[in-house]
Structure 1
């Protein structure tokens, strides 16, 4: 009488392990990329917030003169635990009554994290 064995062969188990390892590695890479993207988005959001705060401060104080490009803002802003350096650039536009103001926020701990806000203000 012949006895039949049920179960998986060694080759089948090894193939299943290779497939499982491939799926796990792909999932880990996707999760790591998602976490990095979330950190970048959070950093950009904080920088944009800091730049808008600086822009609204300039708008509120109305630091306008007729000299063209000058820094009206050179300070630091803390947003949600991140320190940001703010810089502003002003340029006269073709129209006599408007100035273009760009506020640039740069993270003090990461120079690559930089964002800016542009607004137009009447003279």
Structure 2
């Protein structure tokens, strides 16, 4: 029985296949991580946007409130995009006797940790 000489290989060696699979797996892992980061960033930006809208709505209410609106601190929740957003505002004196500085803080649902939005408005005492 005479076998043909193996001078020319046809196909890939096992080592070439393993290297190709390693490169493909690195590319796939990088793509999954990038898409995960994009999803996390999108959720974070949505949260920040909704919290800012809640704070701006509360600022509009404060600016349009009748005389006697100011209190040292007030808090509550607001419904925005089917979520409850805890908020708190505090009133501070300013160098101008007739003006008050109002800081409005809004947290994501649960109200834990750092505020998702902070808005400062100035309102006269009148």
Alignment TM-score > 0.5, same fold: yes
Unaligned segments of structure 1, at least 5 residues: none
Q: TM-score, normalised by structure 2?
A: 0.83
Are 2:26 and 1:22 equivalent residues in the alignment? yes
Q: TM-score, normalised by structure 1?
A: 0.85
Distance apart, 1:86 and its partner CA: 1.6
Distance apart, 1:33 and its partner CA: 1.0
Contact kept in structure 1, 2:54 and 2:80, CA below 8 Å: yes
Contact kept in structure 1, 2:85 and 2:111, CA below 8 Å: no
SS of structure 2 residue aligned to 1:85: strand
Unaligned segments of structure 2, at least 5 residues: none
SS of structure 2 residue aligned to 1:43: helix
Distance apart, 1:110 and its partner CA: 5.6
CA distance in 1, matches of 2:20, 2:98: 71
Note closer, same or farther for the CA distance 1:23–1:85 as it changes in structure 2 (3 Å cut).
Answer: same
Quote the residue 1:97 is aligned against: 98
Note closer, same or farther for the CA distance 1:98–1:110 as it changes in structure 2 (3 Å cut).
Answer: closer
Quote the residue 2:55 is aligned against: 51
Alignment RMSD (CA, Å):
1.9
Aligned residues: 119
Select which of 7, 13, 17 maps to 1:9. 13
> Which entry has the higher C-alpha Rg, 1 or 2?
2
Select which of 26, 29, 34 maps to 2:38. 34
